[in-house]
Amino acid sequence: MLCFSLTALLRPIDLCSVIKDNKDYVMNMDNNKVWFITGAGRGMGVDIAKAALAAGNKVVATGRNIDKVAQAVGESADLLVVKLDITNPADATVAVKATVDRFGRIDVLVNNAASFYAGYFEELTPEQMEQQLLTSLIGPMNVTRAVLPVMRKQRSGHIISISSTAGLVGFEFGTAYAASKFGLEGWMESLQAEIEPFGIHTTIVNPGFFRTELLTEESTNYAERQIDDYNKRRTQQMQFWKGANGQQSGDPAKLAQALITIANQEKLPLRFIAGADAIDTAEQVIATLQQQLNAYRELSTSLAHEDV
């Protein structure tokens, strides 16, 4: 882990002008924020949008099909439905402009839109790998890049990116998905250091197994190639993932409520491990890392130059 001081990055700020520019935000700290949510036409995005509205916030619900988004979220005077394909940077720019035109600001961005390309790495095509990275990594980057100028001008904001336990540890049949989530987390952690001086914070959310629509046919794609050596295990994996849909233990509506709670904390978390199963996974990752560190500590600490 890289450790360094942010002091050199900080510049003097005219506090009076900051307060003046952000007077609306100061007055609306708790339940009157503007939430910008991607993938709000189905799954957990719908739950997040509804929870944010119920808490008294203004919500921009986005998706590729605005009719589907509007039908899923319902009607509200505090709701703006905007078309957004997160893989299209131009869409992100237009959606952010529409948000500012309507509500004047963006306080919370939720990078939620997702897909799942499942399969053994050798059997996944390069195009499938690219599509996974485009949706789960490049897409959130496109939206965040469009939102950041608004948040920098406000000198405030909160970026929540939905990752996975696959962002903590890789797993069989999940090379594409884990690669995208590990990338998402490395980007978010680095971004936090860059934007914190502007009063913008980031939170990575690592859900465990939640009963969302990620494992439905609309969101899950399987490897196109078939290599004989993987046949037996592929059959087992396919049975597991298809059978898991609708059986996940986590309640996405409760996770949505948890995000509302987190967004209103005075000190925003850098990471939220969501679900008892996710906590178990995180603790196993920590234990394995500690074991590996201890096993090779002597060798590792012997690698410095002799003159150091």
- Known catalytic residues are 177
Q: How far apart are CA 63 and CA 70, in angstroms?
A: 10
The phi and psi torsions of 17 (rounded to 5 degrees) equal -70, -35
Which tokens sit at 240? Answer: 């597991």
* 3 state DSSP class of 186: helix
Q: How far apart are CA 205 and CA 199, in angstroms?
A: 20
The distance from CA 286 to its chain's CA centroid, rounded to whole angstroms, is 21
Cα angle: 247, vertex 250, 252; to 5 degrees:
110
* 3 state DSSP class of 199: coil
Closest of 156, 180, 66 to residue 108, by C-alpha? 156
Which tokens sit at 248? Answer: 């996940």
Kindly state the helix (H) or strand (E) to which residue 127 belongs, with its residue range: helix 126-133
The phi and psi torsions of 174 (rounded to 5 degrees) equal -125, 30
Sheet strand arrangement including 108-111: 79-83, 58-63, 34-37, 108-111, 157-162, 200-207, 271-274
